[in-house]
Each structure stands twice: as C-alpha cells, then as structure tokens.
Structure 1
C-alpha cells in the first residue's frame, strides 16, 4: 500500500510530500547522471537517500494509520453483526434474534454478561453497565428506568442484574453505526505548521 502511494499523482493530495518526492527524484537523477560521467558525488547521494527515506516513511505511517482505522471499523461492524438479542413478544415469549433485526420500539431483555444489542431506554430494572468500549471510562455506570440515567448504548455490556430495554433506533441509526462511519471516513487533520508549510511551498 505504501509503495502505491509513491505515485506522484497520489502525492499531489499532500503538497509537502509531493515536493519532497519531486526533489528526491531530481536529486537521484542528478546523482545517477554523474555516476555515468565518472564523477563520484557522495553528497547528492546522501541527500537522495534521506529524501526517499522521508517519503517512504511518511507514506508507510499514513498507510498504517488507515489500515488500523479500517480494521477498527470492521471489528465494530462484526461485533454488531454477531450480537444476538432476546426479543420479548407481546405474549411474554422470548425469541433470540440478530441485533440487526431489531427495530425501533422493540422490547428486549438483557442480562448480566450480555452485550446490549441496540441503543434504547431502560423500561424496567436497574443494572450496572460497562461502557468502556464506547466512552473509554473503566468505571461501570448505573442505568435504570426513568430519569436521566435510562439511556443505554448498543455495544456496551451489562455487568449485573437484568433490564428490559425499549429500542430507540432502527438499523443504521445507532451510535455504533455512526462510530463505524466516522472511523471509515476519518482523515487526519493537518496541523497549522503543515498548512503553513504547504502554502509556502505552493507559493514558491
């Protein structure tokens, strides 16, 4: 992947690296030309090596970052697809379905150890929930019916007790779905120094 990024047409998206790669090509050609004429110039050779190292390393790091982002998005999507839900029928029966089959308004039962399959609100019960997968906070939180602590997020885990949840979103509208979309479409924001350098180089 990082090798394919060496295409100058790809580098045009990043003016700084495009100029660095162009410089590397020109210095390399200059060095090779003098080799054929019998002149050994070590300085241009060293410059060419450093420029190519900079280009290759920068593209490798960017490719690695994109790869991690795609892997994270795939992991989130797979976790949602593999999650099962206990759907409560109007007659009180419980049916096991895929999380992707849930619809807004469905009532589900979630017990200790289960992954909450969809965003919703607690209709009945109190439970301790691990939301670290979403918030990064290791301390569990209490969710209960009524009040401002009734909202639950799909992908979090119930640590104790059982709760009944009313699903509040349809497939594709959950917090987890939005996370996947953000990860897939995320691009690293340029720092002010990078922007200033790009403008300077373009001006030159």
Structure 2
C-alpha cells in the first residue's frame, strides 16, 4: 500500500525559478504584420521555376499571362481585363497563403527554441540547489519546480504532487495533476507548474525532448502543394 503525498492548497507565491518564455506566435492568417512580411515572398514565388512545382497554379499563371497579353491587344475589352485581374489575384493569393504558412512555421520553431534556451533549472547537486540552463540538464538529474515555474525538461515526478498547465503542448486549458508514482508521474518540458512543489528526475537526453521533436517537426514539415 503506497502512501500518497497530501495535496496542499494552491498558493499564489511565484518563486524566482525557471523563467517563463514570453511571446507567442501572432494572431492568425490575417495578422497584418505577418501578411506584410510575407507579401514579398508571395511575389518571388511567381517565378515559373517555383510555380511549376504546383501544376494547377502554374496553369493559372500561364492563363494570367495569356489573358493579359490578349487584353493589351484589345484595350477596350473590359471582360478580358476583368478575367486577367481575377486570375492574377488567384495566383498571388495562393502564393501569399503559402508564404504566410511558411512564415508561421518558422516563427513557431523560433518560439519553441527560445522557450528551450531561456528556461533556467534548479538542479539538486550535493543536496543543494544550483541554477543551471535547461539545456545543460542530463539524464538522471534532479530538479525542483514550484508554482509559477516552467518545467525545464522531460522527466518523472519522484517527490510531491502539483497541478500542471500542459496547454502549451496539448491545447487543453484544464490543468492536470502530476504526482510521484503511478501513471501520472510523467511531465513534459515547457509546461508550467501552477501550484505546490515537485521534484523531477530528468529522463530524456538533450536534443531528444518533446520540444526538440516539435522543433524538428515544424522545421521539417513541407506544406502540401496544390496538385
């Protein structure tokens, strides 16, 4: 029969431990800053050598050029000019959407990388706490996390019980309980402790954490082209 550590009431004192990463990837597809930043890339993608990789949009580009040429031969043909305008808008909007997606992917990777490098861990060394960069943790290291701290690496809770916000990796806003022993001991780097105090044993090598895998996934993901 195992003895569970009693849960203490959540408190609002935020210790000066791990630093919480600031800044998130901005609004959405229609974020003005992201659109302006991606606009030059949208026009650079009009290069036929780039467009040919997307057969459908390449055909639309060719149609845009041809209808524009025919419209110049008959300047009074407003129908031709209208068709040309719509075709060009279609091509540019498709390129802009792709450029925005690529820009957001890069921003997400940068945000994750910053979250990893900015986190400071409180590691137990010889029975004393020592502040070290989160990237300097090794398998078997023991770190302490309290309310307000960012968990510096993937591991298992070996002492204590705490409420943890895992919305950064799961999207679920409701906090979860993590405690030593059982199937609720695993914690993930980048999540936030909301209450109480836990001691974590690092179980993942540097470069193999969940955040590292997310960075590799975001950077390596290729946007599926229009067939």
Question: TM-score, structure 1 length as denominator?
Answer: 0.88
Q: CA deviation at 1:78?
A: 0.4
Could you give the per-residue CA deviations for residues 69-93 of structure 1, whole angstroms, max 9, x where no partner exists?
A: 111111111011100000111x201
Q: CA deviation at 1:33?
A: 3.1
Q: Would you say 1:121 and 2:156 are equivalent positions?
A: yes
**Which of 49, 64, 74 is residue 34 of structure 1 equivalent to?**
74
Q: Which residue of 2 aligns with 1:169?
A: 204
SS of match in other structure, 2:211 = helix
**Which of 108, 123, 131 is residue 87 of structure 1 equivalent to?**
123
Equivalences for 1:51-200 in 2 at 5 Å?
51-89=87-125, 91-189=126-224, 198=227
Q: CA deviation at 1:112?
A: 1.0
**Aligned pairs, number:** 187
**Which of 58, 81, 84 is residue 48 of structure 1 equivalent to?**
84
Q: Which residue of 1 aligns with 2:63?
A: 23
For the aligned residue pairs, the C-alpha RMSD in angstroms reads 1.3
Q: Which structure carries more relative contact order (alpha carbon 8 Å, separation 6+)?
A: 2
Q: CA deviation at 1:146?
A: 0.9
Q: In the aligned structure 2, how far is the partner of 1:158 from the partner of 1:12?
A: 49
Q: In the aligned structure 2, how far is the partner of 1:158 from the partner of 1:6?
A: 48
Could you give the per-residue CA deviations for residues 37-85 of structure 1, whole angstroms, max 9, x where no partner exists?
A: xxx2222211111100100111111111111111111111101110000
Q: In the aligned structure 1, how far is the partner of 2:73 from the partner of 2:105?
A: 42
Q: Which residue of 1 aligns with 2:44?
A: 4
SS of match in other structure, 1:173 = coil
Which runs of no fewer than 5 residues in structure 2 stay unpaired?
Answer: 1-40
Q: In the aligned structure 2, how far is the partner of 1:155 from the partner of 1:13?
A: 37
Which runs of no fewer than 5 residues in structure 1 stay unpaired?
Answer: 199-204
SS of match in other structure, 2:89 = helix
**Runs in 1 of length 4+ with deviation above 4 angstroms?**
none
Q: CA deviation at 1:188?
A: 3.5
